[in-house]
Amino acid sequence: MSSRVSMGLTHLALILFGLIWVYPFIWMVSSSLKTNASFLTSGVNPVPEKLHWENYERAWNVANFSGYFLNSVVITLGTVIIVVTLSCLTGYALGRVNFPGRRAVIAITGAMMFIPTGYTIIPLYELMKFLGLSNTIFGVILAESSGAHVLFILLFAAFFSRVPNEIEEAAIIDGCGFLKIFFKVILPSAKPVVATAVIMQFIWTWSSFLIPLVLTLNNPELRTLAVGMLSFVGKYQTDWTGMAAGASISLLPVIFIFILMQRYFIEGISGSVK
């Protein structure tokens, strides 16, 4: 009986604390549906007296969130495709072929984890300028794809090394070459790993701030949602409800993907810490 009481109290505490925990999101969405006047006076009450969708219309059209949204989508998709493809290929070579120099590649990959790459933003910016790619969307994608994908490479390598050799031998007897085995036989079985890498990279790139901020300094047209949001706040200081609508637009896709894939995602991370 007492354990049931304590369990009940735990639930109560968790629900209360959890509500406070996610309240900023509730506040954000509800504010985006209020008028500026009721926003200032309504306090904690999250229920808008009437749904004011025009805040979204204003953010989308007037504050150019439609443009930012498109940029975010293009940059995120481009980065996800590049990063996942490269890590998949590297992971396959490392996991299945014992080529000369394999240990060196593994050592370098491992060492990259410890190299603090945070301060490379200045040379990266200069490099993009030199290549004529600063203030282009391709430059942002390329810069976003840089950095260590150690985690993904290791995930792929571990997965591919566990595929039984018999499968590959059977495919060779059937006359498959290296590429055909990779694309037709082994890659299709790697869907869970591909999905994990895609989701994680999607969330990282979608949330990225420093690289798109620096690389689009002179071209506001190319801003992503996160960067556009910042300039929006500067420009329309008093339009809080428009800001809340913009924030909701920015967070919606990433929260949607997370909720859709949350089991995959949390498990993927837990697995990688081991």
Partner 1 sequence: MSKAKRNRKVNKQTKQRYIWAYIFILPQILMFLGLSLYPIIMSYVYSFYDWSGVGPMNDFVGFDNYLKVFTEEMFWNAFKNTFVYTAGFVTISVTSGLILALILNNPKLKGRVVYRTLFFLPVVTTMAIVGIIMKNIFGNTGLINQVLQMIGVIDEALPWLINPVTAMIVLILVGSWKETGIIMIYWLTGLQMIPKELYEAAKIDGAGSMQVLRYITLPLLAPIGATILLLTTVSSMRVFDLVKTLTNGGPFYSTETLELYIYRFAFASEGQSQIGYASTVGVILGMTVFIISLLLGWVVLKLNKQKGKNDLKTEMKKI
By CB under 8 A, what part of segment 198-257 binds partner 1?
203, 206-207, 209-210, 213-214, 217, 225-227, 229-230, 233, 240, 243-244, 247, 250-251, 254-255
Cβ neighbour number for residue 208 with a 10 Å cutoff: 20
* 145 contacts partner 1 (rule: CB under 8 A): yes
Q: Is 142 in the site for partner 1 (CB under 8 A)?
A: yes
Distances in Å between the alpha carbon of 126 and those of 73, 129, 139? 25, 5, 11
Shortest gap between Cβ of 139 and partner 1 (angstroms)?
11
Of 62, 72, 20, 77, the C-alpha closest to 245 is 62
Residue 75 within binding range of partner 1, rule CB under 8 A: no
Smallest separation, CB 191 to partner 1 (Å): 19
Min CB(250)–partner 1 separation in Å: 5
* Residue 12 binds to partner 1 (criterion: CB under 8 A): no
Q: Name the minimum Å distance from CB 24 to partner 1.
A: 6
Question: What's the min distance (Å) between Cβ of 178 and partner 1?
Answer: 4
Distances (CA, A) of 134 to 86, 95, 158, 273: 23, 36, 37, 36
Rounded-to-integer distance, Cα 274 and Cα 262, Å: 19
Long-range contact list for 157-160, CB < 8 A, 24+ apart?
157/90, 157/91, 157/92, 157/94, 157/95, 158/95, 159/91, 159/95, 159/190, 159/193, 160/91, 160/92, 160/95, 160/96, 160/186, 160/190
Among 61, 66, 117, 189, binds partner 1 (CB under 8 A): 117
From 49-57, 58-66, 140-148, 183-191, span contacting partner 1 (CB under 8 A): 140-148
Question: Which of residues 52 and 95 has its CB atom nearest to partner 1 in the complex?
Answer: 95
Residues 32-51 that bind partner 1 (CB under 8 A): 40, 43-44
How many Cβ atoms sit within 10 Å of the Cβ of residue 111?
11
CA distance 250 to 203: 12
What does the alpha-carbon distance between residue 77 and residue 198 come to, in Å, rounded to a whole number? 9
Q: Is 84 in the site for partner 1 (CB under 8 A)?
A: no
Q: How far is the CB of 203 from partner 1 (least distance, A)?
A: 5
- Shortest distance (Å) from residue 129 CB to partner 1: 8
Interface positions, 255-274, toward partner 1 (CB under 8 A) = 255, 258-259, 262-263, 265-266, 269-270, 273-274
